[in-house]
Chains A and B, each alone.
Chain A
Amino acid sequence: MTTDFWRIVFGRLDLGALDFLTAFRDPTLNEIILSGAAWAVILGGLAAVVALSRYRLWGPLWQNYLVSVDHKRIGIMYIVLAGIMLVRGVLEGVVMRGQQADGLGGGFLSANHYAQLFSTHGTIMIFFMAMPFLTGLINIVVPLQIGARDVSFPMLNSASLGLTVAGAALVMISLVVGQFSTGGWTAYPPYTDSLFQPGPGPDYWLWSVLLAGLGTTITGINFVVTILRERAPGMTLMKMPMFTWTALCTAILMVFALPPVTVSTAMLLLDRYAGFHFFTNALGGNMMNYANLFWLFGHPEVYILILPAFGVYSEIVATYSGKRLYGYGSLVVATMSIAVLSFTVWLHHFFTMGQDADMNAAFGIATMLIGVPTGVKVYDWMATMYRGRVRMTVPMVYLVSFMVLFVLGGLSGIILANPSIDFQVHNTLFLVAHFHNMLIPGLLFGMLAGYTYWFPKLFGFRLNDRWGYISAWSWVAGFVLVFFPMYVVGLMGMTRRTVAYTNPAYQPWMILSAVGGVVVTVALLSLFVQLYVSIRDREFTRDIGGDPWDARTLEWATPSPVPAYNFAVIPHVHAREAFAVAKEAGLGYQAPPAYADIHLPGDTWMGVILAVFGTAFGFGMIWYMWWLAALSFAVMAVAFIGRALRGDRAGVVIPAAQVAAEHRAWLAAVGRLAPVTREHEQDGINHGVAAPETREVAA
Chain B
Amino acid sequence: MSGTSAIHAAPGLSYEAGHDHDHDAAGKALWGFWLFMMSDLILFGLFFATYATMLDPMSYAGGPTPRDLFELPGAAMETAVLLTSTLTFGLASLAVKYEQGRGRVLGWLGVTLALGLVFLGLEVREFAHMIAIGAVPQRSGFLSAFFGLVPLHGLHVTAGAIWLVILMVQIVGKGIDAGLTSRLARLALFWHFLDIIWIGIFSIVYLGGIV
Contact = CB atoms under 8 A, between A and B. Distances in A.
B59 interface: yes
Interface stretch (A218-226, A326-334, A398-406): A218-226
B10 interface: yes
Given A221-B35, A229-B27, A277-B141, A570 B20 contact: yes
Nearest to B23: A599
Given A277-B138, A284-B58, A584 B20 contact: no
A224 B35 contact: yes
B35 A574 contact: no
B43 interface: yes
A230 B92 CA distance: 32
A580 B144 contact: no
Interface string A340-366: 000000000000000000000000000
A388 interface: no
B47 interface: yes
Given A234-B2, A572-B2, A278 B50 contact: yes
Contact of A284 (B31, B43, B46, B142): B142
A64 interface: no
Given A270-B144, A284-B141, A574-B6, A263 B47 contact: yes
B2 A275 contact: no
B53 interface: yes
A267 B137 CA distance: 12
B42 A260 contact: yes
B146 to A, nearest CB: 10
Given A277-B141, A285-B144, A259 B42 contact: yes
B35 A584 contact: no
A336 B115 CA distance: 44
B46 A229 contact: no
B61 A255 contact: no
Contact of B11 (A274, A283, A587): A587
B35 A225 contact: yes
Nearest to B41: A259
Contact of B138 (A224, A232, A275, A588): A275
A289 B50 contact: yes
Given A255-B38, A574-B10, A592-B15, A267 B53 contact: no
Contacts of B147: 276
Contact of B46 (A259, A591, A593, A644): A259
B42 to A, nearest CB: 4
A293 B46 contact: yes
A222 B32 contact: yes
A127 to B, nearest CB: 18
A262 B144 contact: no
A157 to B, nearest CB: 12
A267 B50 contact: yes
Contacts of A580: 12
A573 interface: yes
Given A255-B38, A573-B13, A260 B46 contact: yes
A146 to B, nearest CB: 11
Contacts of A271: 144
Nearest to A581: B12
B175 to A, nearest CB: 15
A647 B145 CA distance: 38
Interface in B1-50: 2, 6-7, 10-21, 23-24, 27-29, 31-32, 35-36, 38-40, 42-43, 46-47, 50
B140 interface: yes
A233 B19 contact: yes
Interface in B72-125: none
Contacts of B15: 569, 571-572, 590-593
Which of A233, A570, A641 has the most chain B CB atoms closer than 10 A to its own CB? A233
Which of B14, B20, B23 has the most chain A CB atoms closer than 10 A to its own CB? B14
Given A278-B145, A574-B11, A575-B11, A229 B138 contact: no
Contact of A225 (B19, B28, B140): B28
A274 B59 CA distance: 18
Nearest to B59: A284
A217 B43 CA distance: 12
A62 B61 CA distance: 55
B13 A274 contact: no
A256 B50 contact: no
A153 interface: yes
12 contacts: A224-B35, A230-B21, A270-B148, A284-B141, A286-B59, A570-B21, A574-B6, A582-B13, A583-B12, A584-B11, A590-B10, A590-B15
Interface of B: 2, 6-7, 10-21, 23-24, 27-29, 31-32, 35-36, 38-40, 42-43, 46-47, 50, 53-54, 56, 58-61, 63, 137-145, 147-148, 166, 170, 179
- 9 closest A-B pairs by CB: A582-B12, A284-B141, A581-B12, A592-B15, A284-B61, A284-B59, A259-B42, A276-B144, A275-B138
Interface of A: 148-149, 152-153, 217, 220-222, 224-225, 228-230, 232-234, 255-256, 258-260, 262-263, 266-267, 270-271, 274-278, 280, 282-286, 289, 293, 296, 554, 557, 569-575, 577-585, 587-588, 590-594, 596, 599, 641, 644-645, 647, 699
